[in-house]
Amino acid sequence: MNLKISSSVQRVALIALVAVSLFFHGCRSGAAGEKNPYGLDIVTTTREYSESVKADSSNLLVDLEKHIPGIALEIRYADTNNFTHTEIYTAPKAYLRKAAADSLLKIQNILAAEGLGLKIFDAYRPYAATLYFYEVYPDTTFVAAPWKGSIHNRGCAVDLTLIELASGRELVMPTPFDEFSERAGHNYPLKDTLALKNRALLLEIMTSNGFTMYEHEWWHYNLKERDKYKLMNISFEELEKLD
């Protein structure tokens, strides 16, 4: 009996694993980009991406860990601790376009003077993940519409919080990251004055340094000047090879 259950569980797990890896492999090879179901203009090959950087250096996706001393990373989609309960990314990496990375470097330096720093939950996100998120959670308040693509897919959005630099401890915020509830919104009338203060501090420093807020998520910020950047579906492994 036990054997039967365990082999059927294994079979289901195996099928799921094969389905997910086929999905992501397909995306990595560019097939999903070229044949994306919404006909979007997506950069799907490293050659296309490298040419775009050669033509305009601001298209460069910068590795935040290398660019910003002391920045903390907790890339939730590279772990199962996220709303999909699945490892979406194959590497815990955070990349942003050069202008966004430079702004975060400036912000990290300002915060460091107060003993604070940034922790990144997510930054550039390959388009394949946006397709998958909508399948899992088809609510476009909290998950990007795949027929438009996410600003994360353009390398211009970042999900982040504040930490104490010395301990690495997160400052109190209204909700955990990716809690898809009203409480995550900037206008929610919080009673917790500490969470209110910390949310306002993050808002102030981000919006003073080139980012705009997203009203439904305290952790999500978009680069103000973002329209020229294309959607991308290049994997982290491929980006690392180009570094």
Is there binding between residue 199 and Zn ion (CB under 5 A)? Answer: no
- Contact between 74 and Zn ion by CB under 5 A: the answer reads no
Burial 3-31 (b: 16+ CB within 10 A, else e): eeeeeeeeeeeeeeeeeeeeebeebbebe
The nearest distance, CB 77 to Zn ion, in angstroms, is 11
Query: Rule CB under 5 A: is residue 119 a binding residue for Zn ion?
Result: no
Q: How near is the Cβ of 121 to Zn ion at its closest, in Å?
A: 8
Alpha-carbon gap, residue 242 to 149, rounded angstroms: 24
Among 63, 118, 149, 159, binds Zn ion (CB under 5 A): 159
Size of the site for Zn ion (CB under 5 A): 2
CB of 60 or CB of 120, closer to Zn ion:
120
178 touches Zn ion by CB under 5 A: no
97 binds Zn ion per the rule CB under 5 A: no
Q: Pattern of binders to Zn ion over 28-57, x per CB under 5 A?
A: ------------------------------
3 state DSSP class of 221? strand
CA dihedral (31, 145, 78, 104) positive or negative: positive
Confirm if 52 and 230 have CB atoms less than 8 A apart: yes
Query: Minimum distance from CB of 208 to Zn ion (Å)?
Result: 20
Instruction: Round to whole Å and give the CA distance between 143 and 153.
Output: 12
Q: CB of 195: closest distance to Zn ion in angstroms?
A: 19
Q: Pick the closest to residue 182 from 212, 216, 229 (CA basis).
A: 216
The residue whose Cβ lies closest to Zn ion is 220
Rounded to a whole number of angstroms, the minimum distance from the CB of residue 31 to Zn ion is: 26
Q: Is 220 in the site for Zn ion (CB under 5 A)?
A: yes
Beta bridge partners of 61: 97
CA distance 235 to 240: 9
Chain residues in the site for Zn ion (CB under 5 A): 159, 220
